[in-house]
Amino acid sequence: MASMDWRRIPTVLYPQEILDKAFRKASKQPDLVEDPDKYHRTRKQMDRMVQSAADVIDKTLLKWVDQWPSLNALSEFDQALIDAAVGNDEYRKSLGTIQWAAEQVRKIAGETQRKILRLRNIEGFHQARRHAYGRFSSILSQVSPQILWLGEARNVLRKLPSLDSDEPCIVVAGAPNVGKSALITALSSGEPEVAVYPFTTKQLHLGHFEHRRRVYQMVDTPGLLDRPMTERNPIEMQAIAALEHTGDVLLFLVDSTEGSSMSQQEQAHLLSEVKRLMSERPMIVVHSKSDILDSVPEDAETLISAVTGEGTEELRMRLIETIGADEILNPLECRRTGPEGTSSHSTCQWWPQTLQ
């Protein structure tokens, strides 16, 4: 499944901006009507003005419905991101309400045009058009909360990372201020914002590096706190989404220095919780900030420093080997179905195709 480019979500206009755009275009329609008879000319003008205004409103609203991603078409990771960032229920409700508004505008336009055909006086044509405009305005006023919500949601969603599910993915997790962003900067071409105080990462960041023409994605999750799931904030829930729904391997960072923002016991408890979330994925536990460690922890298998570069290249190769995306099967080895559905291998013979 291809990655979702959140930056392509279209701009959301304010309700009054939609109306201004619609009525401005409609005001130009009378000049396009040619008929020597004033009665028939006015009827055609009012008809075209109603249709033009309705088209602008309808197309604007439906553009949002069509170009905003459908939740059902997204990966579990992207669905979880939307839920953590803005809420899936509100997302569906807002788009559904806006689609309803577009349908109502089309319905009003049709009713008004049929009414204009039945009228027999010029002033009635004008009144019907003004009445339709009022109803258009009423519909947009009714769905104004959903339109405003969509505009605010767009600003949030545009900051989300785009992951390609066809490429290997490494999720980097750990307590606040353990050096996740700094490590990704050292390992990859990504440049997430880095600062030297707790809770530095305010959203998910994405970096990557290449090995043998394959792109390895790295997701920098916001710092997690050692507390119950129900007490986590939206930023932490984005991290949970990354842990639960994506990643070929989890890279968990532990800060064993004296200045760590969480105690070793709290980090150990957090690691246990993360292991439960990632039970089906391999995990590599890394002790960061090795350049300022007073002593090496007894359980430390991997030490790294994003500042000095110590252990970073070794870690990169370990990640590549753990994911195993570069493994190439013997092209002469064919997988066949053995007895009772078991898998067996046998040697295949290959002949070059004869050119005709």
Query: pLDDT 10s digit of each residue in the chain, 356 long?
Result: 456 778 888 899 999 999 999 999 999 999 999 999 999 999 999 999 999 999 999 999 999 999 998 888 888 778 877 887 888 999 999 999 999 999 999 999 999 999 999 999 999 999 999 999 999 999 999 999 999 999 999 998 887 777 787 888 888 888 888 888 888 888 877 565 444 434 444 666 778 888 888 889 888 777 666 566 666 666 666 666 666 777 788 888 888 777 777 888 888 888 887 787 777 788 888 887 766 555 555 554 567 776 677 788 888 888 998 888 666 555 555 444 444 444 433 333 333 333 33
Shared-domain flag, residues 234 and 310: yes
Work out how many domains the chain is built from and give that number.
2
Distant-in-sequence, close-in-space partners of 355: CB < 8 Å, separation ≥ 6: none
Task: Answer for the pair 203, 155: CB distance below 8 angstroms, yes or no.
Answer: no
29 and 87 part of one domain:
yes
Same domain, 79 and 177: no
Tell me if 123 is assigned to some domain: yes
14 in the same domain as 123: yes
The parent domain of residue 264 ranges over 169-323
Q: What is the pLDDT of residue 158?
A: 85
Domain for residue 344, yes or no?
no
H or E segment at 171?
A: strand 169-174
For residue 322, what are the contacts with CB-CB under 8 A and spacing of at least 6?
A: 248, 249, 282, 284
Which pLDDT score is estimated for 243?
A: 67
User: Is 332 within a domain?
Assistant: no
Angle between helices 88-118 and 76-85 (to 10 degrees): 80
Residue 219: CB atoms within 10 Å: 29
Tokens of 193: 């914002």
- Integer-rounded Cα radius of gyration of the chain: 30
Residue 56 and residue 85 in one domain: yes
Residue 168: half-sphere exposure toward Cβ, Cα within 13 Å? 24
Indicate whether 94 and 52 sit together in one domain: yes
What's residue 60's pLDDT?
Answer: 97
Asked whether residue 185 falls in the same domain as residue 313, the answer is: yes
- CB burial string 109-138: b at 16+ within 10 A, e below: beebbebbeeeeeeebbbebbeebbebbbe
Does residue 330 belong to any structural domain of this protein? no
Lookup: tokens for 85: 């960032």
pLDDT of residue 292: 54
Same domain, 118 and 248: no
On whether both 100 and 196 belong to a single domain, the answer is no
Residue 41 sits in the same domain as residue 142: yes
